[in-house]
Structures are given as structure tokens and as C-alpha cells.
Amino acid sequence: MHSLVIFVLVLMFSTSTFAQQRPQGSFNSNSWDVIVATGTFISPQFVGSKQYRVLPLPFIRASKGNYFIQTEGPGLTANILNHSRIKLGPSLRFRSERDGDVKNSILKQFKTINSSVEVGGFLSYSIPVGPPGTNITTKIKTMFDLGDAHNGYTINSSITLNKVLNRRTRIGITFSANFGDQNYNNTYYGLSAYNKKISGYLLYEAGSGFNDIGSSVNVTYSLKNNWGLIGIFGYKKLIGPAKTSPIIQNIGTRNQFLSSIGVSYRF
């Protein structure tokens, strides 16, 4: 479960931050624009965990005109549509296994959830609402499991307000929700007979539905010589199948926080 927080939340809360960093007046549709960023990321050990961990946060984005390809956690996504407001493209993601690497003494004894490769795509639409660079962007992304980890799919939907505060500073405010089908939710939130025997908790079969809602604030500040600073703070609350999971109710919490700070460089 820890991989879900580490990588999906990075996807939800950091992508719009880096994507909006282009200085005003520097856009050139005939040349490549590359951003490399790194920093630290603080997140729960697994979805619903009360314990936190500090991890590195790498990011690379290459764009030319309206096209781009970028990392999103342990994966890639690309825009293949030459349109200033609409973005559409494929996504690829690796989801690591859930095994005994978590610190919780009960959860580490649970049956391992295998790693998986997920494929899917996204669609977003931006509406200008003020000065150049200020817009509202809606986005939906669907991912399918190609392996045997959960054999299901997830849908992430979000709406983000990106606003230019001044020549150097931008802020983004995002509201998002995650949906999982029955296979996905039951894999990460359900409790099988095997895991019941280990934990003593009640059997639980999670159905399909929204499993969390969240919000985040991200700020970017442009320095001299193409350097920049990035700060992100996010919160999400587990709902639906996740809220009633014995795992969350007995050893976890519905309230999940994350934060990140880093530096970026534009080539």
C-alpha cells in the first residue's frame, strides 16, 4: 500500500506544479524545453498508515510546443495532442509489491500483493480565467492492471486552479478523488481468510467505489539562471470501501498528509 501513497499522490499533487513553471515570454514551439527536479517527499508508509517516511522525489519533463513526455512516479505519461487547452495521451506505471517492508508488525505478515505494470491514459482540459498562465484544469486518468496484482482499474479525477501571483511565483490548488473497482479495492483494503487468521480482524470484502478525496496546494518560485523552488502540501481523507476496512480502522487512520520541497532546473 505504501507505493500507492508514494507514487499516486506524487502524480496527483506534483504534476501540475512542474508543468506550469515556464517563464512568461519564453515559449518556443520549435525547441525542446526540459525540466529536471529533485527533492524530498514525506508520506505515509502505506495508505492509511499513522507512520511516515521520507523519500526522494525525482521528476523529468521534456516538451516541444504542446507535446510533452514526463515521469509520474514510477512511470511515464505523454501528451500526443497538439492543442493548447486539451491534453490527451497514454500512461504507463509500475506498482511495487506490498510485502514485509512495512514497519507495522501485523501488516508485514499479510500475504504479499504482487508488483504490477499498469497502462491507461488521461484527458485534461484547461480554461483560461485571468492573466496568461492562470487557468482551471480538469483531468481524468484511468489505469488498468496488466499483471496479477489486483486485476482491476482505477480512475483519478481532479480539478486544479493554477494562478500567477507575480513574475516569479505561481500557486496551484487541486481537489481530487480516486475511484477503484471491486478488484482493486478488495486487493488493497479487503481482508482475506488468511489475513484474518494473522490479525484476528473480521473478514472484509471491499466493493467498488471512491476510496479517497483530497486537496493540495503547490507553490513554485523561479530563481535566476533557470533554477526554481517547489513546495507541496497535501491532505486526503479515506472514504467508502477504504473507510470501513478493518486495516484502516484497527491499525491506521483515515487522515493522510504529505509534503514535499525541492529544486528544479530548466534546460
Give 95-112 as a DSSP string. E--BSTTSS-TTGGGSPP
Reported as type and span, the H/E element at residue 23 is none
The answer to whether 226 and 24 are in contact (CB under 8 A) is: no
Taking only the tens place, the pLDDT of each residue in 119-175 is 999 999 999 998 888 999 999 999 999 978 898 999 999 999 999 998 899 999 999
- CATH number for the domain that contains residue 48: 2.40.160.40
For the entire predicted model, the pTM comes to 0.84
| Domains contained in the chain, number | 1
Q: How is residue 73 annotated by DSSP?
A: S
Who wins on pLDDT, 139 or 94?
139
Taking only the tens place, the pLDDT of each residue in 200-233 is 999 999 999 999 999 999 999 999 889 999 999 9
Taking only the tens place, the pLDDT of each residue in 28-53 is 566 889 999 998 888 888 788 888 88
Q: How is residue 204 annotated by DSSP?
A: B
Residue 28 has a pLDDT of 53
What range does the domain containing 194 cover?
2-266
